[in-house]
Amino acid sequence: MNPFRRSPFVIAATILVYVFLYAPIVGLVLYSFNASRANVTFEGFIPAFSDRVVMDGSMVKSSPCGPFHWYCELSKNRDVAEAAGNTLTIAFTATIISTIIGTMAALALQRYNFKMKPFSQLSLYIPIVIPEIVMGIGILTLFSQVFGWMNDTFNLVGSARLSMGIMTVTASHIAFMVPFVALVVQARLTGFDKSYEEAAMDLGANEWITFRRVTLPMILPGVLSGALLAFTLSLDDFVITFFTNGPGSTTLPIYVYGLLRRIITPQVNALSTVWIMVVFLAVLAIQILQNREQKKPS
Amino acid sequence: MTSEFAVELRDVVKRFITPEGNDMAAVDHVTMQIKNGEFFSMLGSSGCGKTTSLRMVAGFEWPTEGEVYIEGKAMGHTPPFQRKVNTVFQSYALFQHMTVFQNLAFGLEMEGAKEDEIKKRVGRALEMVQLTGMDRRKPKQLSGGQQQRVALARALVKTPDVLLLDEPLGALDLKLRKEMQLELKALQQQLGITFIYVTHDQEEALTMSDRIAVMSKGKIQQLGTPVEIYERPTNKFVADFIGESNFLEGKIKSISKKEASVFVPSLNAEVVGMPISEGLVKGEEVIVSIRPEKIRIAEKDAVNQNMFRATVTNTVYIGVDTKVFVDAHGAKLKVWEQNRISRLDPKSFYTVGQEVWLMLLPENTIVLKKD
């Protein structure tokens, strides 16, 4: 028996960490069942099912969905559906593009020596270390200047005028995701023996076939974890999206923030709970897939 | 049209920029001609340029100067996938995400071979390396020796003109390595393919090769058959690197077309009647090189040429041989005596301090230029 495991300090620290990490989440989920519309304190679950919503002041007495009242309300909310759609569209597009660019960057940095290599490597870290708000303002400035100039120069009118929207959000997400992908892939590439690629070429494969049939399958785990990281970063990005979105490109974090500024109904909690569940299931699925991959006699 | 030479390197130089920014010639004006069907080895310690030379034949590196010819054709910047040579890598470089069959089929697919032809040729190649039935395994499920055979089969299934082998047995244990040496040699003779073999293991090179290029510091030190390399090293580096040698400094006393007599101060005597290499002149400072197993110890006081008195300083029994270390007037020499008789009787060993006579047979000695 490891004496360390019995130490009261370790036990206390463990409990504290779990409380700190998960108590807010448990609270958040609990409040999504709150009978109180004001949602300041937890006033108990919604007690009954009924044909229509019965309110008593700010208290919900009964609802067709019973305790799941706020989830039903959420499902009727068109803005949420639109925001979720935007979020996923942006996340998928930005993940695919940033994974391709980031992987190529990682391969180039690992494989070749060139004059600007130290600079290139450093420039990968900069978007990661500078505050997101600085990057957000920077991207906003860039877009508004370029768009303004182009609109004026080419006399763009009506729907042809360039403005902030899904495209600008996606582009800015790609910009901050590429370094993350590149660094994750780069970490996986260290120790990648170039003789695999040489062997493929030796056997008659040109560069492209070598990449498709040998390099990519071998570095795929790294590429996938880079893509996954990029995807989650895009899903919950607030700051940069805040600066680069426009009409019709509201994402879930922006939408939730908008709700919070008006009134915090338990609907926000219901939305957050669904979100957490989706992420949790995704992580679980990845874990199961990875375990199966490891168990397979490879 | 087939050329007389399978592979030819003409005055090839390969320069690299070291991480410190220095310009370094890994291969320094190397010229060699490798004949069709030959088992050719490049032998040297790490950094001697042997692997770089091989990689230039494979097409992974391009010469800074000079030219590589394969079957008489200048290769220039021809990429590896357009050269009719195949490589067995030191690390095997088997594709881990593919089965043995897929590994072997890869190169045939690249040639555009039909499915049934691929099956047939892969089957034959696996049979050749005695791995029939292993085709559905992944490389990680195979032992080191089996992986090595897969790497060999993967290269041979392409029926290359020249097979390049970069220390292919380096990762195997000694016994397996010795088995594989003989198997490789037999395979090469059976297939009639030119093998270019890179190794740092001299015994391996001597066992298998038709000819060996001994390399050091990017240059060829000597190129010849195993017998020539061992029996007639042309410089001190080769005499020292291949096997073991005793070196005695001396000065040529008299010289004829075939023989020389050298005065060796440390023996305070003249060694006479030794065969000579080219370019030696009378009065030149030279090195006399003698293999330890070629010195005879004679206990009897006999009057003869090239016999020198010496004192035994140490003996080491190593099973096959007994190593006898002697001191002849200050010249420290090593003598290997084969244990032809059982040494169970302690009296069969020389004792430390014992006076003996050393006999240097002139035909077993070599006179080398001092470098």
Would you list the domain boundaries of chain B? 5-236, 244-369
CA A209 to chain centre: 32
Tokens of B159: 């029926």
Q: What is the mean pLDDT of chain A?
A: 88
Query: Measured between alpha carbons, how far apart are the two ends of chain B, in Å?
Result: 44
Q: Find out whether B35 and B103 touch, Cβ atoms under 8 Å.
A: no
Q: What is the pLDDT of residues A233-260, one digit of tens each?
A: 898 899 999 999 888 889 999 998 888 8
Stretch 73-132 of chain A: residues touching chain B, C-beta under 8 Å? none
* Domain B5-236 superfamily per CATH: P-loop containing nucleotide triphosphate hydrolases (3.40.50.300)
Q: What is the pLDDT of residue A2?
A: 67
Residue with tokens 């600007």: A116
How does strand A59-63 pair with strand B23-35?
unpaired
What is the percent of chain A where pLDDT is above 90? 43
Q: B79 and A206: CB-CB below 8 Å?
A: yes
Q: What is the pLDDT of residues A88-138, one digit of tens each?
A: 999 999 999 999 999 999 999 988 888 888 898 898 888 889 999 999 999
Rounded to the nearest 5 degrees, what angle is found at the Cα of B215, between the Cα atoms of B214 and B219?
130
Give the mutation candidate from B16, B51, B54, B60 for the A interface (greatest A CB count, under 10 A): B60
HSE value, Cβ hemisphere, 13 Å, CA-based, for B305: 11
Q: Could you tell me the CA-to-CA distances from A247 to A166, A174, B346 in Å, in that order?
A: 9, 20, 101
Distance from CA of B95 to the nearest CA of A (A): 7
Stretch 99-118 of chain B: residues touching chain A, C-beta under 8 Å? 106-107, 110-111
pLDDT band at B6 (very low <50, low <70, confident <90, very high): very high
Span A187-191, average pLDDT: 83
Which of B87, B95, B96 is closest, CB to CB, to A202? Answer: B87
Distance CA A128, CA A186 (A): 15
Distance CA A111, CA A113 (A): 7
Beta bridge partners of A65: none
Rounded to the nearest 5 degrees, what angle is found at the Cα of B196, between the Cα atoms of B190 and B197?
100
Residue of B nearest to A192 (CA): B93
Stretch 180-209 of chain A: residues touching chain B, C-beta under 8 Å? 193, 195-196, 198-206, 209
Helix, strand, coil share (%) of chain A residues, nearest 5? 75, 5, 20
Span B219-228, average pLDDT: 95
Which of B85, B86, B93 is closest, CB to CB, to A193? Answer: B93
Tokens of B2: 């087939």
Distance CA B198, CA B94 (A): 19
Q: What is the pLDDT of residue B1?
A: 45
Which of B80, B141, B154 is closest, CB to CB, to A198? Answer: B80
pLDDT band at B300 (very low <50, low <70, confident <90, very high): low
Interchain CB contact of B95 with A (< 8 Å): yes
Which of A195, A200, A213 is closest, CB to CB, to B91? Answer: A195
Tokens of B31: 């010229």
Q: Could you tell me the CA-to-CA distances from A90 to A93, A142, A248, A249 in Å, in that order?
A: 5, 20, 12, 9
Nearest to A34, CA basis, from A1, A69, A9, A86: A69
HSE value, Cβ hemisphere, 13 Å, CA-based, for A59: 10
Looking at residue B350, the DSSP 8-state letter turns out to be P
Residue of A nearest to B19 (CA): A113
Q: What is the pLDDT of residue A160?
A: 78
Q: Phi and psi dihedrals of A110, rounded to 5?
A: -75, -35
Residue of B nearest to A198 (CA): B60
Q: What is the pLDDT of residues B39-85, one digit of tens each?
A: 999 999 998 999 999 999 999 999 999 999 999 999 999 999 999 99
Q: Find out whether A289 and A221 touch, Cβ atoms under 8 Å.
A: no
Question: Counting one residue from A and one from B, how many pairs have CB atoms under 8 Å apart?
Answer: 67
Q: What is the pLDDT of residues B174-200, one digit of tens each?
A: 888 999 999 999 999 999 999 999 999
Span B244-369 CATH architecture:
Beta Barrel (2.40)
Distance from CA of A215 to the nearest CA of B (A): 10
User: With contacts defined as CB-CB under 8 Å, which chain A residues touch B85?
Assistant: 202
ipTM score assigned to the predicted complex: 0.85
Q: Phi and psi dihedrals of A177, rounded to 5?
A: -85, -30
Positions of E strands within chain A:
48-49, 54-56, 59-63
User: With contacts defined as CB-CB under 8 Å, which chain A residues touch B58?
Assistant: 198, 202
Q: What is the pLDDT of residue A293?
A: 62
CA A150 to chain centre: 31
Rounded to 10°, the helix A216-235/A166-189 angle is 140
Span B317-321, average pLDDT: 90
Distance CA B17, CA B259 (A): 47
Q: What is the pLDDT of residue B309?
A: 87
Distance CA B371, CA B369 (A): 6
Q: Which residues contact A199 (CB under 8 A, 6 or more apart)?
A: A214, B87, B89, B93, B94, B95, B154
Q: Which residues contact A165 (CB under 8 A, 6 or more apart)?
A: A245, A246, A247, A248, A249
Which of A204, A218, A297 is closest, CB to CB, to B96? Answer: A218
Distance from CA of B70 to the nearest CA of A (A): 15
Cα torsion angle, A120, A123, A128, A132, sign: negative
**List of domains in chain A:** 3-73 (no CATH), 77-262 (1.10.3720.10)
Looking at residue B260, the DSSP 8-state letter turns out to be E
Q: What is the pLDDT of residues A257-294, one digit of tens each?
A: 888 887 778 888 899 899 889 888 888 887 787 777 66
Which of A193, A201, A202 is closest, CB to CB, to B91? Answer: A193
Q: Is the pLDDT of residue A60 over 60?
A: yes
Q: A203 and B95: CB-CB below 8 Å?
A: no
Q: Find out whether A278 and A201 touch, Cβ atoms under 8 Å.
A: no
Span B88-103, average pLDDT: 94
User: With contacts defined as CB-CB under 8 Å, which chain A residues touch B155?
Assistant: 202-203
Q: What is the mean pLDDT of chain B?
A: 91
Burial class (CB in 10 A: 0-12, 13-18, 19+), B304: exposed
Q: A201 and B111: CB-CB below 8 Å?
A: no
Q: How many CB atoms lie within 10 A of CB A204?
A: 22
Interchain CB contact of B97 with A (< 8 Å): yes
Q: What is the dihedral of CA A42, A45, A46, A48, to 10 degrees?
A: -160
Which of A195, A205, A213 is closest, CB to CB, to B89? Answer: A195
CA B229 to chain centre: 9
Interchain CB contact of A298 with B (< 8 Å): yes
Q: A217 and B97: CB-CB below 8 Å?
A: yes
Distance from CA of B155 to the nearest CA of A (A): 7
pLDDT band at B227 (very low <50, low <70, confident <90, very high): very high
Nearest to A59, CA basis, from A74, A78, A73, A42: A42
Distance CA B220, CA B236 (A): 13
Stretch 210-239 of chain A: residues touching chain B, C-beta under 8 Å? 213-214, 217-218
Q: Find out whether B259 and B275 touch, Cβ atoms under 8 Å.
A: yes
Q: B154 and A203: CB-CB below 8 Å?
A: yes
Q: Look at A166 and B304; give whichever has higher pLDDT.
A: A166
Tokens of B260: 């020389």
Distance CA A250, CA A86 (A): 7
Distance CA B214, CA B234 (A): 11
pLDDT band at A295 (very low <50, low <70, confident <90, very high): low
Query: Measured between alpha carbons, how far apart are the two ends of chain A, in Å?
Result: 34
Q: Phi and psi dihedrals of A203, rounded to 5?
A: -85, 5
Q: Find out whether B297 and B337 touch, Cβ atoms under 8 Å.
A: yes
Q: B158 and A204: CB-CB below 8 Å?
A: yes
Q: Which residues contact A57 (CB under 8 A, 6 or more apart)?
A: none
Looking at residue A212, the DSSP 8-state letter turns out to be I
> Long-range contact list for A236-243, CB < 8 A, 24+ apart?
A237/A132, A237/A173, A237/A176, A239/A132, A239/A133, A239/A136, A240/A132, A240/A135, A240/A136, A240/A139, A240/A172, A240/A173, A240/A176, A241/A90, A241/A169, A241/A172, A241/A173, A242/A136, A243/A136, A243/A137, A243/A139, A243/A140, A243/A172
Looking at residue B351, the DSSP 8-state letter turns out to be P
Q: Which residues contact A278 (CB under 8 A, 6 or more apart)?
A: none
Distance from CA of A232 to the nearest CA of B (A): 28
